[in-house]
Structure 1
Amino acid sequence: MASRRMRAFKRWMKSKGFQWCDALEFVDTPEEGIKVRALCELKEGDVVAKMPKEACLTTKTSGAREIIEEAGLDGHLGLAFAIMYERSLSGDSPWAGYLQLLPFQECVPICWTLDEVDELLCGTELHQTVQEDKALIYEDWKENILPLLEVAPSKLNPKFFGIEQYFAAKSLISSRSFEIDDYHGFGMVPLADLFNHKTGAEDVHFTAMSSNYESDTDVDGCNNDEGIVEEEALAQNSSIDMTVLNTANVENCVVSDIESSLVSEGDTSMLEMIMIKNVSGGVEVFNTYGLLGNAALLHRYGFTEQDNSYDIVNIDMELVIQWCSTAFSDRHCRARVSLWRRLGYSACGIQNSEYFEISFDGEPQIELLNLLQIMLLPDTAYHRLDLSVSVSGNCHESNGASTTLLNDNIIPNKAFDMSKKSLLPKNVCGALLSLADMRESLYGSKSIEDDIEALGRCSLVREKKLYHSLMLRINERKVLQKLRNYASQPFKVTNQSLPRKKLKRTTKKSS
């Protein structure tokens, strides 16, 4: 039996013109939250849900549109204000039936206390990122939301627009928003946000057709440069059969053709959920938020996945410099890094926040191997290479060869086959082992075995923050173990890693 809040949500959807096939079951449990399950087989190409754009909560549809536009609150900043405004209306909001289904906030780290961030995320890829995010989000609220309360106290109830409410709205946007079209920008899409994520196992795809709104005052509410990742929207007309399951007899899974009362194919006023593969009856139907590692999943959506093959670990440039300074002078380190840059190499990130990636398989980024090799070159070889670069005035460019030779020293370039680890000198492998130990030390005194034991005692339902932070830390430490194996067994052949989508370390203003 559907929960009371789910029944209220369904009534609200019907009143707003939402359509969904009867073969979808919305399951609502206190332990697992809401998920969507197939009552019978769903086939590739089936349109299983349609959502009116005007029923989505955006800066254009919200009753706060005038305030948002006058204040110049665009992007996620404007959407956060719209959510807070509609919540302040309570039952009078046109989205009351939808908002009552949502949690106050999602369990994403930006909503954790600073003490929880420091304790649970210490050493992980998220620790510094979340600290910076929290500071920037607070700054956004102070600069953009707080002034509105001071100039319009009669219109806005301050208790619905405080910093806690702003963080809560940002967490909902992070985990639930979709890109709708150029006119609406990003918004909250009821029903579409009920489908849970599973990495690399998408069953249903969110599709948005571009709209043709034209107005001299309309501005694009989309901001693709923000730090929170958004869902991709397929902004094109689908060429697949637009069949909607309208199962009057769910037990026998009767599939009927689209009725004349339903919207026609190509209607840009509607958003759609389309099956992209067959799904058997009785199983959950998944959407996907992208091919993301656990750091990105926890950061944006508040959960992790066991043995996530898209996990990576970053080795900061600062850590590499720290390692180098233990064996060489500061002058040596600066000179070798300078030569590495003049050869045309660079790390990930930006100038004041650089890092190297270690893949899920434990393979280091080729640029890190380059840097370690140059740092460990004998002085004679270093000076020859330095002179050669200075005379030629050309940066190193890959010409298809797997190595650059200088006085019997091998410097791998971007064409280097990572499986040929026998080409790496022992001192480079030793440096990788040292860096793995230094990176590991950031997690504190507890071992990975301690973390695994703690995870076994942890309750996902009652200790959600602890559970997912342990999962993140354990998976990262497993990557470091693989890095040690990589460096310790140079003659072992491994497969090259596929490119990974990752959590970017650069933090931008969150408006």
Structure 2
Amino acid sequence: MSMDIVDHFSEQTATYKTWIETSTSIGYGIQPCRKIELSDLRSKSQGRGIIAIEDIQEGEILFTISRESILNVQTGSLGKLQNGENVEILTQEFTPWESLILTLIYEFQLGLKSPWVGYLQVLPLELNSLIYWENYDLEKLRPSLVIDRIGKNDALEMYAKLIPSAWERLGVKAEEVGDVSWELFRKVASLIMAYSFDVEDPSEAKQEDEDEEDFGSDDEEEEEDTNTVKSMCPHADILNSNSELNNAQLTYPDPSDPEDAQYKGLLIMKAIKPIKAGEQVYNIYGEHGNSELLRRYGYVEQNADGDCMFDFGEVSLSLIQSQLVQHFSAVCKTDSSQLEKLLNTVLTNLIPETTVEEFEAEQVVQETYECPYTGEIQAEIQVLLQSLVIILQTPDITKYEHEELSRYVDRVLKKCYQLIEAQTLTKAAKQLWENIVNARLSQYPSFAFRETHDDSSSSQNGKLAEVVLRGEVKSLQIGLESFSKGFKTIDDEKLLRNILKKREQQGGKQGNKVVKKAKK
């Protein structure tokens, strides 16, 4: 590495430290405790990080961040334009993602004129998240379903929507912001996905004393919280992440803790376990498996056994459908096209319209189902598969009229939910799960089933892809055994007789009210 690059990195670090000290000296900013220091960790391929220089006890405050030092639509230079009216425009006319992207792009385009330049200079210049991968590298990730979640097309559509039309609405002159390239837009969007937080909006709840809340990196799949502001948090994003070594957490002051009273209105980074002098302070980006870590942040995690504790494999709904049709068209001697039509009706119209009051999951029918490395199988897939297995074994089920079929699906869903709650499955449900997971495993390359794959010719991205695939395979193998672990097994005929008998007794009435129509 050449000296000028080393000096440039160090110069940026020094500028960042000055930026922190300057903001702190005028009454706000970032206040680190004396027991930590910003450190150059490039020798460990970790860029910058924070190291403990003295022993730290659990619960100690590592640093605080004032609201003025958090970059968002309320504090950014873009929001202050047009006499501050841009804050309302950004909030009301753009999504939280769009508004923060525009805010951050504007700061980058201001360059040295930006009051955030000291912070912007220490944000990563290069990312290796999947939106940057070329197609030939992405092919190495197949059959992982993470490829479907990269969102590059969505980002391109957002770029076309915002640039350059948004600037005029926000009172920004073309010569002031200049040409915003797709490369800059992609970089900013990637930085936000990797480092942004959803921070409680002080204008919404500044008078309320609420229970302590913990928060981590933004998850764009989660429903937006209207009482939060999507934000970039300087110093919090300096911390490197490690799921197993995580020893710090960004949080709000606890109003019930007298020691936290002095930090009211601030964000605080707390030690969540003892940290010895010389150890690195680690945050956690979230409980993400390697496929998601690679998609969002461009890296993977491996413990001493080569595993990631939050890894998961995925089974798609389409694969479940195809295996069910293949099995029951042979067993029940029913035309496969009739079964496909029945399944589509049940999955797209009938089951999504019904919920079981005691069932806490959001929805039984999902596009994909996870098999976590921990072996904790989603109850949704157990209920869904057991219900579909019984429905497809019902005599003359393809002849049911829509209203009759709807009532029957309600009854089956309720009964199968109760069965799963009682830790019981039918033999066919257990067998079909094995068929489904084995079919999914057959899609993976042979090297994904080996602990190591010694291929010196593999590129760095190729090696990252191999780690992801091995983690998914191992998780699916664990899920193969976990689906019915601890469950009793009964004959399908016993459950089917019970459901059909109740149907005859009810004489086609609406059925038990434990199953109800969901609100639309």
Aligned CA distance change for structure 1 residues 337 and 92 (closer, same or farther; 3 Å):
closer
Between Structure 1 and Structure 2, the one with more helix by share is 2
**Deviations 1:271-327 (Å, cap 9, x if unpaired)?**
321223322222222222333333333333333322233322222121122223334
Q: CA deviation at 1:352?
A: 9.5
SS of corresponding position for 1:64 = helix
Aligned CA distance change for structure 1 residues 93 and 266 (closer, same or farther; 3 Å):
same
- Aligned-residue identity in percent: 22
SS of corresponding position for 1:472 = helix
Taking the aligned partners of 1:467 and 1:168, their CA distance within structure 2 comes to 23
Structure 1 runs not aligned, ≥5 long: 210-235, 243-263, 405-410, 496-511
Aligned CA distance change for structure 1 residues 266 and 378 (closer, same or farther; 3 Å):
closer
Taking the aligned partners of 1:201 and 1:54, their CA distance within structure 2 comes to 30
SS of corresponding position for 1:126 = helix
Taking the aligned partners of 1:414 and 1:105, their CA distance within structure 2 comes to 48
CA contact 1:105–1:172 (8 Å) conserved in 2? no
CA contact 1:109–1:302 (8 Å) conserved in 2? yes
SS of corresponding position for 1:324 = helix
1:415 matched to 2:421? The reply is yes
- What is aligned with 1:190? 234
- What is aligned with 1:251? none
Within 5 Å, give how 1:439-454 maps onto structure 2: 439-443=440-444, 445-449=445-449, 452-454=452-454
1:323 matched to 2:323? The reply is yes
Taking the aligned partners of 1:121 and 1:388, their CA distance within structure 2 comes to 45
Compare 96-105 and 149-158 and name the one that shifted more. Answer: 149-158
CA contact 1:337–1:371 (8 Å) conserved in 2? no
Structure 2 runs not aligned, ≥5 long: 1-5, 25-29, 204-227, 330-335, 489-520
Paired AA for residue 4 in structure 1: E
- Residue number among 375, 383, 394 corresponding to 1:367 in the alignment: 383
- What is aligned with 1:254? none
1:22 matched to 2:22? The reply is no
CA contact 2:140–2:462 (8 Å) conserved in 1? yes
- What is aligned with 1:215? none
- What is aligned with 1:379? 395
- What is aligned with 2:259? 241
1:40 matched to 2:58? The reply is no
Within 5 Å, give how 1:107-186 maps onto structure 2: 107-117=128-138, 119-130=139-150, 133-148=151-166, 152-158=173-179, 161-182=180-201, 183=203, 185-186=229-230
CA contact 1:39–1:282 (8 Å) conserved in 2? yes
Q: CA deviation at 1:483?
A: 3.7
Aligned CA distance change for structure 1 residues 165 and 350 (closer, same or farther; 3 Å):
farther
CA contact 2:32–2:62 (8 Å) conserved in 1? yes
- What is aligned with 1:99? 120
- Residue number among 461, 464, 474 corresponding to 1:468 in the alignment: 464
Taking the aligned partners of 2:185 and 2:288, their CA distance within structure 1 comes to 26
Within 5 Å, give how 1:66-81 maps onto structure 2: 66=81, 69=87, 70=89, 72-81=93-102
With structure 1 as the length reference, what TM-score do the two structures score? 0.70
CA contact 1:105–1:169 (8 Å) conserved in 2? no
- What is aligned with 2:370? 357
**Deviations 1:325-384 (Å, cap 9, x if unpaired)?**
334212124335656885757999989962333232274731343145326626379999
Aligned CA distance change for structure 1 residues 179 and 480 (closer, same or farther; 3 Å):
closer
Which structure carries more relative contact order (alpha carbon 8 Å, separation 6+)?
1
Matched length: 419
Q: CA deviation at 1:436?
A: 2.1
Q: CA deviation at 1:47?
A: 1.5
Taking the aligned partners of 2:296 and 2:105, their CA distance within structure 1 comes to 19
CA contact 1:366–1:412 (8 Å) conserved in 2? no
Paired AA for residue 480 in structure 1: L
Paired AA for residue 200 in structure 2: D
1:265 matched to 2:277? The reply is no
Aligned CA distance change for structure 1 residues 351 and 23 (closer, same or farther; 3 Å):
closer
